[in-house]
């Protein structure tokens, strides 16, 4: 399977715990994005990488959130001291970059986080 892979698919945690999600993009894609989707809403942009460089972060990404993409391959999103408001679907996407702005994003199936 050459699509975007996210692990785990589901994560249940207690408030205050730290969680980490992993995303493996399509191998030839140099851009990787993280979005968050809450129930009844469209996805909201969190951050994106070009290769290993994190080029843009949303104000939604508080200091409890950190994302990395070492060596420009897979990426991890960590949430420290989780809160109930962090419960959401976390979506990862990747794309090639041709410099035109119309490159489509390829999404993974997401990680559903539930904070109890």
Partner 1 sequence: AQKITQTQPGMFVQEKEAVTLDCTYDTSDPSYGLFWYKQPSSGEMIFLIYQGSYDQQNATEGRYSLNFQKARKSANLVISASQLGDSAMYFCAMREGLTQGGSEKLVFGKGTKLTVNP
Structure tokens at 54: 């994190």
Determine contact, residues 67/74, Cβ cutoff 8 Å: no
Q: Which of 61, 67, 93, 113: binder of partner 1 (CB under 8 A)? A: 93
Contact 116, 15 (CB under 8 A): yes
3-state helix vs strand vs coil in the chain, percent to 5: 5, 50, 45
Q: What is the radius of gyration, based on Cα positions, of the chain?
A: 14
Residue of 41, 51, 62, 73 that binds partner 1 (CB under 8 A): 41
Shortest distance (Å) from residue 68 CB to partner 1 = 18
Taking alpha carbons only, the member of 83, 107, 110 closest to residue 4 is: 107
Check residue 25 for interaction with partner 1 (CB under 8 A): no
Pick the stretch among 15-23, 67-75, 78-86, 105-113 that binds partner 1 (CB under 8 A): 105-113
Least separation in angstroms between CB 76 and partner 1: 19
Residue 48 contacts partner 1 per CB under 8 A:
yes
Dist CA 110 CA 116 (whole Å) = 19
The yes or no reply on residue 44 touching partner 1 (CB under 8 A) is yes
Contact set with partner 1 (CB under 8 A) = 31, 33, 40-45, 48, 55-56, 58, 89, 91, 93, 100-102, 104-110, 112
């Amino acid at each position: 399977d050459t699509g975007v892979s996210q692990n785990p698919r589901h994560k249940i945690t207690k408030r205050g715990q730290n969680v980490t999600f992993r995303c493996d993009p399509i191998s030839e894609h140099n851009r990787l994005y993280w979005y968050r989707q809450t129930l009844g809403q469209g996805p909201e942009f969190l951050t994106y990488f070009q290769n290993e460089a994190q080029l843009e972060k949303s104000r939604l990404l508080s200091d409890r959130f950190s994302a990395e993409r070492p060596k420009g391959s897979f990426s991890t999103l960590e949430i420290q001291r989780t809160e109930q408001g962090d419960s959401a679907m976390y979506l990862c996407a990747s794309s090639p970059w041709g410099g035109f702005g119309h490159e489509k994003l390829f999404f993974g199936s997401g990680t559903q986080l539930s904070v109890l």
